[in-house]
């Protein structure tokens, strides 16, 4: 297990104010598991409310625009995210890359904007099934990260990486333990190259893709797995807390 595992719930496009009771329940329980860092990424509409109601857990957004303000109807800037009380932003999720055609270059500019606004980032990467079957998963993921990782002195304070094989997201399929371990090892190697041994040691690498209470312990015990990014199972306090307890 990582020194202080980081368990982050990504609510995606789910949640109205009725879901605040789940956030409160997660927050209350998280106070009993201080060895685990717990966070939620609700939709923009709930950011401020979750921040206000949840004292113990971290709150972050699922995206931000690359510009600080301006004529971008429907978008939300990193400055606005920070102003809501959120402390981090998830960037480069495969659903943003797929649904909105986000390129590595755009994601890199969002990373800069988020850091500029004082936010921490969770930078997502992950290959499709076709890329894995072609034996190119590692090259693909490392290229995504080379494009997105910023130059920083204090990377361990500001950056988390989330490895999420696309074919494992929301499908109930998880990657083989050996494949997760190999990818996390390779990502750690890139972090060492980029930030040096000491900073890289503090950059947590989360695994995401159908993490549930019953598979969390095995996944989280793998070397260089520093926590989990959890989609579906974060929508109920009971299942999300099952993962927190397993960590």
The 128-167 site mask, x for binding ligand PEP (CB under 6 A), equals: ------------------------------------x---
List Cα–Cα distances, 165 to 32, 99, 184, 195, in angstroms.
31, 16, 12, 24
Size of the site for ligand PEP (CB under 6 A): 13
**Rounded least distance, CB 169 to ligand PEP, Å:** 4
Does residue 93 have an active-site annotation?
Answer: yes
Does residue 164 have an active-site annotation?
Answer: yes
Is residue 226 a known part of a binding site? no
List Cα–Cα distances, 236 to 18, 51, 125, 140, 239, in angstroms.
12, 18, 25, 33, 6
Q: Which of 10, 62, 79, 160 binds ligand PEP (CB under 6 A)?
A: 10
Is residue 14 a known part of a binding site? no
Residues 190-209 that bind ligand PEP (CB under 6 A): 208-209
Phi, psi of 95 (to 5 degrees): -75, -30
Using CB under 6 A as the binding rule, whether residue 211 contacts ligand PEP is answered as: yes
List Cα–Cα distances, 176 to 43, 183, 222, in angstroms.
30, 11, 11
Q: Which of 232, 239, 241, 247 binds ligand PEP (CB under 6 A)?
A: 232
Contact by Cβ (8 Å): 60, 43: no
Q: Which of 210, 224, 241, 244 binds ligand PEP (CB under 6 A)?
A: 210
b/e per residue 99-132 (b: at least 16 CB within 10 A) = eeebeeebbbebbebbbebebbbbbbbbbbeebb
Annotated binding site: 10-12, 170, 210, 231-232
Annotated binding site for substrate: 10-12, 170, 210, 231-232
Binding residues (CB under 6 A) for ligand PEP: these are 10, 164, 169-170, 208-211, 229-233
């Amino acid at each position: 297990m990582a020194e202080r595992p980081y368990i982050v719930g990504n609510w995606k496009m789910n949640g109205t104010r009725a879901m605040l009771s789940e956030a409160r329940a997660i927050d209350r329980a998280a106070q009993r598991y201080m060895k685990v860092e717990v966070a939620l990424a609700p939709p923009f509409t709930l950011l401020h409310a979750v921040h206000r109601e949840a004292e113990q857990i971290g709150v972050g957004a699922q995206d931000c625009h690359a510009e600080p303000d301006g004529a971008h109807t429907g978008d939300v800037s990193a400055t606005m995210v920070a102003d809501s009380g959120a402390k981090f932003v998830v960037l480069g999720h495969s659903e943003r890359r797929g649904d909105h055609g986000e390129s590595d270059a755009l994601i890199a500019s969002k990373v800069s904007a988020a850091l500029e606004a004082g936010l921490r980032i969770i930078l997502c990467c992950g290959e499709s099934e076709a890329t894995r079957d072609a034996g190119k998963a590692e090259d693909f993921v490392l290229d995504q990260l080379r494009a997105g990782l910023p130059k920083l002195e204090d990377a361990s304070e500001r950056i988390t990486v989330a490895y999420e094989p696309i074919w494992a997201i929301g499908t109930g399929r998880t990657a083989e333990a050996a494949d997760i371990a190999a990818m996390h090892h390779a990502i750690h190697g890139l972090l060492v190259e980029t930030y040096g041994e000491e900073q890289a040691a503090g950059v947590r690498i989360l695994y995401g893709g159908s993490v549930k209470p019953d598979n969390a312990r095995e996944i989280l015990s793998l070397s260089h797995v520093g926590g989990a990014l959890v989609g579906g199972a974060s929508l109920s306090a009971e299942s999300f807390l099952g993962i927190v307890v397993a960590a």
